[in-house]
Amino acid sequence: MGELAEFVGSGTSGALGAGGSSFFIDTQVFEVYQRQGWKKVFWGELLLDVGFLELTEDWYYFLCYKPVQSSDVLLPVTLTVRSLSEALWLGHYAYEEWDVLNPGWRHREELVREETERALPRRSLFVDGVDFGAFLSMVYVYEPLYWGVRKERYDLVPDPIYVDQGDRKVFTFYFPHAVGVEVEQWGLLGEAGMFWWDDVGQNQLRFMANLDRVRPWTREGVQAMTPISFEPATPRGFWVAPDDPVGKRVLMEGEERFARNVAFLALDAALKRQHEEGIWPLMPRSDWLYDQYGMDVSFYDSRFNRDMALFLLQGYRRFGAEPFLDGALRYADFFCNHALRYHEITERGGFLVYDYLDLRSGSGREAAVGALLDASSGSSGAIQDPAEAPCASDSLRERPALRALSHVSLNHLLSEMNFLYEVYEVRPKALYLEVAEKIRLAVLDRAGAWIRDEGEGDLCYAWLPDGSYGLLDYALLTLSDMRYSQAIFERREGIVDEEFQVLIERQEVFLRERGLLYE
């Protein structure tokens, strides 16, 4: 392949850190072109984000290149680190091409000083010097498909090159030129000690995160492989899923600087992806929801959204960044309006809140969400706190329920209720508590209905639009939610909720008998 040895970048600079972000990022966009005599040949557009993480005093950068020409010519991007290290230590994931999902770990190897170029593996690199530490991602090449899915094009990724020039450690990454692809590379740089190699727990956490080819990072957050039940489904297809298990794990367990950086970046990305209404719409399309309820792309999933909002709330508790709390509260307000509008009423006035909402119904997402907000607050779009009404409970009962738009699953109900109790502890707004209590009442009103009639002891997954209860429940998810609920009740009220305990024990017996629960 040839190399684009000379290029010129010209462009604009701006900040992504304003308005809802939790730290400042400077963004520059360059036109990449080559001068050929009096002509200027345009090759593509290069975006560069650079941010300083005060939490760890490390630097973050992100590159995205969009070529407009196809060519064997490569765009070299060079990172030079000034260091007095005589040698560097390099670690990376190791896997066969056919077994990407089950990588091993290549023991750290020493990069001794050489004047000649050295090809590095096409992997994300963990680099240690005596006076610096760095995480340098591999180069990612994606072919955008549709509905938010991109296909990995690993076949287009060239090997990076390393040269030791004494006090200058030079890493060169090469970006290919193919019309329509998106090329990305990112990194973290700081003082020595970014990785705790002697800590077993941090090593396991770092290995689990696998930001290499299993859960690659992009500008909008951690990506996941597209489920086969979603469209478009393709091998090595990725999307930015609203739920971020990597971010949550490193947030709760990460102590080394690398883990704390990833947690903070994931929180910041979640905040930036949140729509002003407080939600994270899902793309691509779920084939099951489309077949069952006609829900197309861009739909609201209360479980995924709750998970993201709880992630922000946990981030606020750990880091104290107010923007994270603001994001969690925005979602809490939205969900309360969703619950007031879209529910089935149980015997004692509890709310069975629908799991999903088609955001593209009617005149589009804005109209659907706007109608939802207006339903409980008038045309202004502001949310009225029932505590300001003469009787908060009466205020809730006045909200009309609509026809069933989807099913109501027990795990969604529990997760929503748990989140509202938690957010109420941080911001005691009466609406949060009252909606949580309405959901709790609905679960208890239908406690007997959740238990299967077949005598197996298992719980039904969901209330269905025809009024029946059915579908197979997750093995452990709902039990975990119920135990979480019980812990909240004990913390708030000092006693065990006996009606909830019946459901918990039935599920525990069922799972133990089938060898799915060992505690």
Whether residue 315 sits in one domain with residue 431: yes
Among the three residues 153, 177, 196, which one is the final residue of a domain in this structure?
196
What one-letter code names the amino acid at 345?
Answer: I
Three-state SS at 136: strand
Kindly state the tokens that stand for 86. 């005589």
- CATH of residue 479's domain is 1.50.10.20
Cis before 232? omega within 30: yes
Q: Give SS3 for 155.
A: helix
Domain count of the fold of the chain: 2
Q: Are residues 26 and 165 located together in one domain of the fold? A: yes
The confidence score (pLDDT) of residue 245 equals 78
- Provide the pLDDT for residue 484: 97
In a domain, 383, yes or no: yes
Q: Hey, CA dihedral for 337, 341, 344, 345, is it positive or negative?
A: positive
Q: Give the CA angle between residues 416, 249, 307 to the nearest 5°.
A: 15
Q: For the segment 362-404, what is each residue's pLDDT rounded down to a tens digit?
A: 433 344 454 554 444 433 333 344 333 333 344 454 444 445 5
Note down the domain range covering 475.
285-513
Q: Which pLDDT value is given to residue 380?
A: 33
The DSSP bridge partners found for residue 1 are none
Do 174 and 303 have their domain in common?
Answer: no
What are the residue ranges in the chain where pLDDT is below 70? 1-22, 96-107, 114-115, 361-404, 454-457, 519
Residues 294 and 166 in one domain: no
Q: Which tens digit of pLDDT belongs to each residue from 59-76?
A: 999 999 999 999 999 999
Decide if 152 is inside a domain.
yes
298 shares a domain with 192: no
Q: How far apart are CA 57 and CA 256, in angstroms?
A: 13
Task: Assess whether 18 and 148 both reside in one domain.
Answer: yes
In this structure, the answer to whether residues 397 and 300 fall within a common structural domain is yes
In a domain, 291, yes or no: yes
Query: Any idea which residue has 């149980």 for tokens?
Result: 346
Residues 406 and 299 in one domain: yes
Q: For residues 44 and 390, give the distance between their C-alpha atoms in angstroms, rounded to a whole number.
A: 62
pTM of the model: 0.88
Q: Does residue 350 sit in the same domain as residue 470?
A: yes
Same-domain pairing of 333 and 481: yes
Asked if residue 201 is part of any domain, the answer here is no
Per DSSP, the residues of 99-157 read GTTS-EEEEEEEEE--SS-EEPPSS-EEEE-SS-EEEEPPPEEEEE-STT-EEE-GGGP
State the Cα–Cα distance between residues 16 and 238, nearest whole angstrom: 24
Is 494 inside any structural domain?
yes
In a domain, 156, yes or no: yes
